Amino acid sequence: MAAKYPLTAGEEVMSKKAHGTCDKPVQENLRWGVDREVADRICCFNRHYAEHSGYWVKTKFLSEVDKTGETTYYDSVTGKPLFIAPRGRTFEEFKAESSSHGWPSFRDEEVVWDNMRCLANGESISVDGTHLGHNLPDKKGNRYCIN
């Protein structure tokens, strides 16, 4: 029996569009003080690389995120929800796993599958062509390491 996740897409989702693989640039005023130029380069003009490991802890994320409930994480281009976390674990577990890998790491139950897919090579993308990161499975299952 085939695994239920990740849901996959064909390479055509990442075809050239008006702004790299995206229809438009990333939004202005990204949450947590994320650098828009860096986000735009990684999300719309990149298929393989990421910002440096640990970048997310240098933003305002840890001081501003809700540590007691779930947080919705959105596509920086379209604004569509991509992940809702933590689910099935505590914020401290989410933070510890993300810290150990260098990038926010999400699990299958935290993905909004209407809006996120993976390509055959493990690249995690939005259904609209935003590069998000990669699926790097471990002994616990799929782990979506997101830029």
What is the reported pLDDT for 48? 83
Q: What is the DSSP letter of 18?
A: T
Q: pTM score, two decimals? A: 0.95
Q: How many CB atoms are closer than 10 A to CB 33?
A: 12
CA distance 125 to 128: 8
Per residue of the chain (147 residues), give pLDDT as tens: 457 999 999 999 999 999 999 999 999 999 999 999 999 999 999 988 888 899 999 999 999 999 999 999 999 999 999 999 999 999 999 999 999 999 999 999 999 999 999 999 999 999 999 999 999 999 999 999 999
In this structure, is the dihedral angle defined by the CA atoms of residues 14, 56, 75 and 73, taken in order, positive or negative?
A: positive
CA distance 66 to 34: 17
pLDDT attached to residue 49: 83
Write the CA distances from 27 to 34, 63, 64, 77, 125, integer angstroms: 11, 22, 19, 6, 17
Compute the distance between CA of residue 65 and CA of residue 61 in angstroms, rounded to an integer.
6
